[in-house]
């Protein structure tokens, strides 16, 4: 019996040591890894993130499965990302900018599956912001050259989402999509394009999905009609432009900044800062188009 008991004690202490080893070497490091390490997307990327001067660039760039990026592409992407970061830091008056993971897909289908979106019109470029601090880009490998200014706009758009997420934190979910997309478009589009798109909003004023801010939200989310979706984006940009004109950039940001501490939705926070109801501001603006 003594031998059996001794064996049991040895087995138990062996088990404890075994458990300790597991805790030390497997479980503990798991808790220390970043969000990104534990994502399903991480499995798609056999490369380690290309840590290219991270202190300087703030971006951890990674390509999908053994895909060697075309010559010069990394430099090209990083310079666009860095340019976007500098413009946004100055526009939003930020002193720091978080490091972000930038994942580049060259396979359209895989990108669409992971980002759960559809790339319109078989475009060679697309971007997607994941609200956990990750930005995905799709860059068609079949496309011989990618327009740098297009990629710059795209990176500014996605990185504006990142700034809004940083500012809003949990209140990001309480912010209407028209405002988030409108802000991102506001940051990335030059005046000439804004004018062109505003014109298109004016000439489509009679469309039902333009009637209220809620219908604009639904249009942006629309998977049925690409025209409807694009017009939703154009309207969001035009209206955000109007809000910034009317109240000033700082006041609009004051609404955003007040949200996390008050737990209020954008619609409730807006009148507290400006004294006006958003629905009324939209209706007035819409009538005057």
Q: Which parts of this chain interact with Zn ion (CB under 5 A)?
A: 181, 184
**Token digits for 222?**
């629309």
Considering the complex, state which of residue 139 and residue 229 has its C-beta at the smaller distance from Zn ion.
229
Least distance (Å) between residue 161 CB and Zn ion: 6
Q: Which of 111, 142, 141, 143 is nearest to 127 (CA)?
A: 111
Give the total residue count for the chain: 289
**Residue 61 falls in which region: left (phi positive, over 0), alpha (psi -120 to 50) or beta:** beta
CB of 159 to Zn ion, least distance (A): 10
What stretch of H or E contains 15? helix 2-22
- Please say which residue, 226 or 262, places its beta carbon nearer to Zn ion: 226
Q: Shortest distance, CB of residue 158 to Zn ion, whole angstroms?
A: 7
Nearer to Zn ion, 69 or 182 (CB): 182
d(CA 113, CA 214): 27
Assign residue 248 a region: left if phi > 0, alpha if psi is -120 to 50, beta otherwise? left
User: Which CB, 77 or 184, lies closer to Zn ion?
Assistant: 184
Q: Which of 209, 228, 153, 232 minimizes the C-alpha distance to 185?
A: 153
Could you tell me the smallest distance in angstroms from the CB atom of residue 120 to Zn ion? 13
**Under a CB-based contact definition with an 8 Å cutoff, are residues 100 and 135 in contact?**
yes
Q: Give whichever of 69 and 127 is closer to Zn ion, judged by the CB atom.
A: 127
Least Å distance, CB 194 to Zn ion, is: 16
């Amino acid at each position: 019996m003594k031998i059996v008991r001794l064996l049991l004690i040895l087995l138990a202490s062996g088990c404890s040591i075994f458990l300790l080893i597991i805790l030390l070497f497997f479980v503990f490091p798991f808790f220390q890894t970043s969000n990104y390490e534990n994502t399903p997307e991480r499995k798609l990327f056999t490369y380690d993130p290309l840590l290219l001067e991270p202190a300087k660039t703030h971006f951890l760039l990674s390509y999908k499965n053994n895909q060697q990026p075309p010559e010069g592409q990394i430099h090209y992407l990083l310079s666009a990302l860095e340019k976007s970061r500098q413009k946004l830091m100055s526009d939003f008056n930020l002193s720091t900018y978080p490091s972000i993971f930038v994942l580049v897909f060259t396979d359209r289908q895989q990108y669409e599956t992971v980002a759960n979106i559809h790339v319109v019109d078989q475009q060679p470029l697309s971007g997607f912001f994941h609200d956990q601090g990750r930005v995905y880009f799709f860059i068609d490998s079949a496309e011989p050259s990618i327009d740098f200014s297009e990629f710059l706009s795209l990176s500014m758009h996605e990185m504006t989402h990142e700034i809004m997420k940083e500012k809003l934190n949990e209140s990001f979910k309480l912010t209407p999509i028209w405002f988030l997309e409108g802000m991102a478009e506001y940051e990335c589009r030059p005046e000439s394009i804004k004018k062109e798109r505003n014109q298109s909003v004016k000439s489509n004023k009679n469309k039902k999905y333009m009637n209220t801010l809620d219908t604009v939200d639904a249009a942006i989310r629309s998977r049925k009609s690409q025209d409807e979706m694009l017009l939703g984006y154009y309207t969001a940009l035009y209206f955000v432009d109007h809000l910034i004109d009317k109240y000033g950039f700082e006041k609009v940001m004051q609404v955003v900044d007040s949200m996390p501490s008050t737990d209020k939705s954008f619609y409730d926070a807006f009148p507290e800062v400006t004294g006006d109801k958003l629905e009324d501001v939209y209706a007035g603006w819409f009538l005057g188009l």
